[in-house]
């Protein structure tokens, strides 16, 4: 198997190529050109082309590996070298010209996250992490925030947008959290939300349901920056779909207490 450093270099190369494509492509402005995977969950030829570009680079370099991707191959796989790819995280932002969207690529070997890259496309900022090797932006090592008081904490979240069966539960969570912290933000890209936790801009983040490709790379970034990424019960997340709770240790604990409250 390739080393984690080899994997992160390859993921960086693939993300960079996809980012160049996304910055140069014409944005489909007419909603008639948008496909729908569910309520307010859009996909276009841009997402598919970006994923095809990434897939070609990754499989060209590692032909025995597997791609798990939002558009082309969404089934989860845990054996061998697996790439977990979101070719355009924040599609709705992209479609409206809001400059908050990303390419997210993680590499797992036998279900263990080994490398992760999140490229903030409009800013061309590439965040990377390897298991045991830290989280980085260029030569700057990332570290989660040291703020421990909830009243000083800025928290990221994601609103329910395709599954509304737990909407009332989310509204109650939001009400408790917003009253106890310095503010709550919803930028619209989970990959970048986790980057913001890893970089210390958010003290914490929660969302009711995300897919593995939304969070795999960001999960490794947060952990390598000294933070925690779990489900609401405190169980460490693997390569999986579901609820997400991330933060520095103190704010993660506080957020968990707010999410568990009734």
Q: How far apart are CA 200 and CA 198, in angstroms?
A: 6
Q: How far apart are CA 79 and CA 72, in angstroms?
A: 19
Tokens of 213: 């490709």
Q: How far apart are CA 180 and CA 197, in angstroms?
A: 18
Say what the pLDDT of residue 92 is.
92
Say what the pLDDT of residue 78 is.
82
E-state strands within 2-149: 35-38, 41-43, 66-69, 81-89, 102-109, 112-120, 125-130, 134-137, 140-141
Say what the pLDDT of residue 42 is.
55
Nearest CA to 35 out of 120, 100, 118, 92 is that of 92
Say what the pLDDT of residue 39 is.
57
| pLDDT string in tens for the chain (262-residue length) | 899 999 999 999 999 999 999 999 988 877 777 666 555 555 788 999 999 999 999 999 999 999 998 766 667 888 999 999 999 999 999 999 999 999 999 999 999 999 999 999 999 999 999 999 999 999 999 999 999 999 999 999 999 877 788 899 999 999 999 999 999 999 999 999 999 999 999 999 999 999 999 999 999 999 999 999 999 999 999 999 999 999 999 999 999 999 987 6
Q: How far apart are CA 177 and CA 193, in angstroms?
A: 17
Bridge partners, residue 157, by sequence: 206
| Cα–Cα separations (whole angstroms), residue 230 to 71, 73, 124, 158, 245 | 25, 25, 28, 16, 5
Q: How far apart are CA 22 and CA 97, in angstroms?
A: 12
Q: How far apart are CA 218 and CA 244, in angstroms?
A: 11
Tokens of 39: 């309520």
Pairing of strands 125-130, 140-141: unpaired
Farthest CA pair distance, the chain: 51
Say what the pLDDT of residue 38 is.
54
Say what the pLDDT of residue 75 is.
77
The domains located in the chain, with CATH, are: 4-141 (3.30.540.10), 150-260 (3.40.190.80)
Percent of the chain as helix, strand, coil, to the nearest 5: 35, 30, 35
Asked if 56 and 117 count as a contact pair (C-beta separation under 8 A), the reply is no
Q: How far apart are CA 156 and CA 184, in angstroms?
A: 6
Say what the pLDDT of residue 72 is.
65
pTM beyond 0.85: yes
């Amino acid at each position: 198997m390739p080393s984690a450093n080899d994997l992160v270099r390859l993921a960086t190369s693939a993300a960079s190529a996809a980012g160049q494509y996304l910055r140069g492509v014409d944005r489909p402005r007419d909603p008639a050109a948008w496909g729908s995977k569910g309520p307010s969950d859009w996909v276009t030829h841009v997402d598919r082309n970006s994923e095809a570009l990434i897939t070609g680079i990754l499989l060209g370099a590692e032909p025995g590996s597997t791609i798990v991707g939002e558009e082309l191959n969404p089934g989860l796989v845990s054996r061998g070298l697996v790439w977990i790819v979101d070719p355009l995280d924040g599609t709705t932002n992209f479609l409206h010209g809001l400059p908050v969207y990303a390419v997210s690529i993680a590499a797992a070997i036998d279900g263990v996250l080994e490398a992760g890259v999140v490229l903030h496309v409009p800013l061309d900022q590439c965040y990377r992490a390897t298991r045991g090797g830290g989280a980085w932006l260029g030569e700057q090592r990332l570290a989660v925030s040291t703020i421990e008081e909830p009243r000083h904490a800025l928290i990221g979240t994601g609103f329910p947008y395709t599954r509304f069966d737990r909407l009332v539960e989310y509204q109650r969570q939001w009400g408790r959290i917003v009253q106890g912290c310095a503010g709550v933000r919803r930028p619209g890209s989970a990959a970048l939300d986790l980057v913001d936790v890893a970089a210390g801009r958010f003290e914490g983040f929660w969302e009711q349901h995300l897919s593995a490709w939304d969070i795999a790379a960001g999960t490794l970034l947060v952990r390598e920056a000294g933070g925690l990424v779990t489900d609401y019960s405190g169980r460490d997340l693997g390569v999986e779909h579901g609820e997400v709770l991330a933060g520095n240790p103190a704010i993660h604990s506080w957020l968990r207490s707010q999410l568990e409250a009734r």
